[in-house]
Structure 1
Amino acid sequence: MKKKYHLLHVFSTFKTGGPQVRSCDIIQDLGEEYRHTIIAMDGNYEAKARIPENIMVDYVELSLPKSNANTFSIIFYLRDLLKKLKPDLLLTSNWGTIEWAMANSLRRICPQIHWEDGFGPEEIIRQKKRRIWTRRIFLPRCSFVVVPSRLLENIALNIWKLPANRLLYIPNGIEQSKFFLSDFSCKQHQIVGIVTALRKIKNIPRLVEAFSDLPCKESRLWIVGDGEERQNLERLVQEKNISSRVQFWGHQDDPSQIIRQMNVFALSSDSEQMPISVLEAMASGCAIVSTDVGDVKVMVCEENQDFIVPKEDKNLYCQKLQRLLEDKELCSFLGKKNQEKCAREYNKKQMLEIYKSLYHKAIEDDR
């Protein structure tokens, strides 16, 4: 019997988000040639619901040294765990798993692919020097480092000083058929929507405040997602006296049917890189209003780029939102152009084939 390659996926959390959704898609596509172990550093495995039960996945609960333990204690604990689990390939994601790169760099136990998808709120304005140097020292020892945006690629090359031959730009891709809408007449013209985890860095209050200032009182705001900011947002909606026009959908494993009803997808984040939710909205034929963060401006069609605005300009953000709600023809035109670009450039099948080849190369090159 042919050996199954063992992939160890490590996340700071396996709560549903962009990197977790992408990994679940890849796991489903890899087939029976691989078996998987997933570790969430915080013990949250919410995204496991996206993986079919027939796929062989083990979930490991960590017993990390106590919170006052030094970094070396954690590194040696993780190194021992790596030896015990014996993966053929270690897959790590973002700063929250950097100790795994450190543990695997001391006489490497297995090949490793590391993703950098973006930054937390503590690094929006300026990256921390300690983290820059840690990335400079340990990430070049990975087989490959993957980034989903050109902005991150530039940071990795020019700030972290990662070697170009180890750095790969692989844009996210989505399942077009799930979101594709051929007949835009079923869209409800007055619906603005957002699909995201409700965290501070997403700055949903910026969207709520802009929406509350709109003169068009027939419009509706749909907020799809959950998180620690939900109560604050519900309170803000009440304070703005717009509760009857705002709907909180909570977390949705499959938001496609909701997104397809939106005309305008409004992103209000302080920091992003290549948000999958924007791709899903583009595939659904939405016009996009967004703060100018990450690669969003180059993701959308050229005609939509005028609606990507500096995050400091709240008035302009509101004006762009208002214009799209008042101009149904423009909304539909931009939605169609976004849909065409998404189908052309952000295809899930193509992305999955790239990852299949990359995993195989990383494993075989290490033999």
Structure 2
Amino acid sequence: MPPDGSDFFRDSGDGPPLRILTPLHSFEPGGVERIALRLHRAWRAAGVDSHLVVGRTDGAMRREFDGLRYFTLSPRWLPTASWETLWMIASLPRAIRAVRPDILFCAGNTYAIVMVAMRILLRQNCPPIICKISNDLHRHDLPRPARPFYRLWLRLQARMIDRFVALAPAMEPEIVALTGVPESRVDTIEDPALTIDRLSIAPSSSPGPGTHYLAVGRLVPQKNFSLLLKAFARARQSGDRLTILGDGAQRAKLEALAESFGIAESVTFAGHVSDPTDYMKRADIFVLSSDYEGVPAVLLEALAAGLPTVSTDCCASMRSLLANPDHGIVTPPRDAEALAAAMAAARNIRFDRPAARRLLRRFTMEQAAPAYLASMRQTSLAAARRHDA
């Protein structure tokens, strides 16, 4: 069975194949980019005229998606990593004119600034835009003086973007309230973190004594791994271990923090891995310490692996994802004491695998890939009717 689940659907829409263009900055590891690459691969396999444009070819995920067709905006001699958003805004119009897509797919709201710029630069020649909201929109982590300007930015997006996609039902009211778009312009397509064959990963045992905690994510402020280290230092018992998968700019700082807490010998920074499944099989408890998320794909993967999960209340959907107490515990964001208490309590959870499988069936590529196509066709037709009116 292919990893993108493409054997489970074929594009059956009326008329010619839909032409999609998805811009990404690079192949650097990130949940938004990984899901976008998987969707592109699934659409291509289903006969959709899907085009991928990357600002540069750097990043570990390039090997993970070896053989994927894409176009590159940056010449080899021009380094663009430090100004990738400006570079994409400057160079993407040329790709749009060349491809002439029916729809632009904004893979996450971090790319919304690029899409708004396309609407301003190309005006009536800009294709309709569908934007997946990949992160919490409330952003309580922002400084208070910045929040009014952020709210205005969300309202501007609503004027420039044709359609929004929520990754879980709980996100839809948030999108409507904060952007001001009507409900008719928001679809819910649950995050395709899994494929049908990965709804239940066969568990293995955690070697050694104690509890083995696992966390996965880029080592950036959003993920708040410093909070996790502080909580682990409080919750740790003899033989307990913590493995953190991922890499990023904060690695040296976090390693020094682990040393200062006296837990360095119990913490492993394993770096980036393309598939955390083997680590999940050997872990006992999964922990997510983020300040904000959308629907964290890695949390869904952990539930598929049968891992009791402790998570901060970092998004509108978290309490519904972990509503079953036999799946995990939700704690307030940025509260190390509460996170530590939950990590200790999670040792006693008896994980309910059948209930997890029922929950996770909604979060598969086989469900999401055709649902996106239906939403894109509706968006493209609505834009065409407005143009003809």
Which bin holds the TM-score, normalised by the shorter protein?
A: 0.7 to 0.9
Name the aligned partner's letter for residue 147 of structure 1: A
Deviations 1:155-175 (A, max 9, x none): 321121012111112211312
**Residue 325 (structure 2) pairs with residue 311 (structure 1):** no
TM-score normalised over the length of structure 1: 0.83
8 Å contact from structure 2 (residues 109, 132) kept in 1: yes
Call closer, same or farther: CA 1:133–1:204 in 2, change over 3 Å. same
8 Å contact from structure 1 (residues 301, 341) kept in 2: no
- Structure 1 residue 145: Cα displacement: 1.2
**Residue 103 (structure 2) pairs with residue 89 (structure 1):** yes
Cα distance between partner residues in 1 of 2:153 and 2:259: 44
Give the match for residue 186 of structure 1: 205
Equivalent runs, 1:349-360 vs 2, <5 Å: 349-360=366-377
Give the match for residue 324 of structure 1: 346
Give the match for residue 322 of structure 2: 300
Name the aligned partner's letter for residue 117 of structure 1: S
Cα distance between partner residues in 1 of 2:290 and 2:131: 24
Call closer, same or farther: CA 1:336–1:89 in 2, change over 3 Å. same
Cα distance between partner residues in 1 of 2:382 and 2:91: 27
8 Å contact from structure 1 (residues 114, 146) kept in 2: yes
8 Å contact from structure 1 (residues 75, 103) kept in 2: yes
Cα distance between partner residues in 2 of 1:136 and 1:76: 24
Give the match for residue 299 of structure 2: 278
Give the match for residue 255 of structure 1: 276
Cα distance between partner residues in 1 of 2:130 and 2:236: 49
8 Å contact from structure 2 (residues 137, 175) kept in 1: no
8 Å contact from structure 1 (residues 64, 74) kept in 2: no
Call closer, same or farther: CA 1:81–1:36 in 2, change over 3 Å. closer
- Structure 1 residue 305: Cα displacement: 7.2
- Structure 1 residue 354: Cα displacement: 1.1
Deviations 1:2-56 (A, max 9, x none): 976543212455422121111111112112432413234x775543333240x43
Cα distance between partner residues in 1 of 2:313 and 2:163: 28
Task: Count the aligned residue pairs.
Answer: 354
- Structure 1 residue 190: Cα displacement: 1.7
Deviations 1:120-160 (A, max 9, x none): 99763456434433432443443321121445422321121
Cα distance between partner residues in 1 of 2:79 and 2:132: 23
Name the aligned partner's letter for residue 322 of structure 2: V
- Structure 1 residue 335: Cα displacement: 5.2
Name the aligned partner's letter for residue 303 of structure 2: M
Cα distance between partner residues in 2 of 1:116 and 1:9: 15
8 Å contact from structure 1 (residues 94, 114) kept in 2: yes
Give the match for residue 104 of structure 1: 119
Identity, % of aligned pairs? 19
Could you list the runs of 5+ residues in structure 1 that have no partner in the other structure?
none
Could you list the runs of 5+ residues in structure 2 that have no partner in the other structure?
1-14, 385-389
Give the match for residue 26 of structure 1: 39
TM-score normalised over the length of structure 2: 0.79
Equivalent runs, 1:109-120 vs 2, <5 Å: 109-118=126-135
**Residue 174 (structure 2) pairs with residue 124 (structure 1):** no
Equivalent runs, 1:1-367 vs 2, <5 Å: 5-11=18-24, 14-30=27-43, 31=45, 32-40=47-55, 44-53=58-67, 55-61=68-74, 79=93, 81-92=95-106, 93-104=108-119, 106-118=123-135, 124-125=141-142, 128-173=147-192, 174-178=194-198, 180-182=200-202, 184=203, 186-188=205-207, 190-294=211-315, 295-304=317-326, 307-325=329-347, 327=348, 330=349, 333-334=350-351, 336=353, 339-363=356-380
Let me know the Cα RMSD of the aligned residues: 3.4
Name the aligned partner's letter for residue 50 of structure 1: E
Call closer, same or farther: CA 1:198–1:337 in 2, change over 3 Å. farther
8 Å contact from structure 1 (residues 225, 252) kept in 2: yes
Cα distance between partner residues in 1 of 2:255 and 2:79: 36
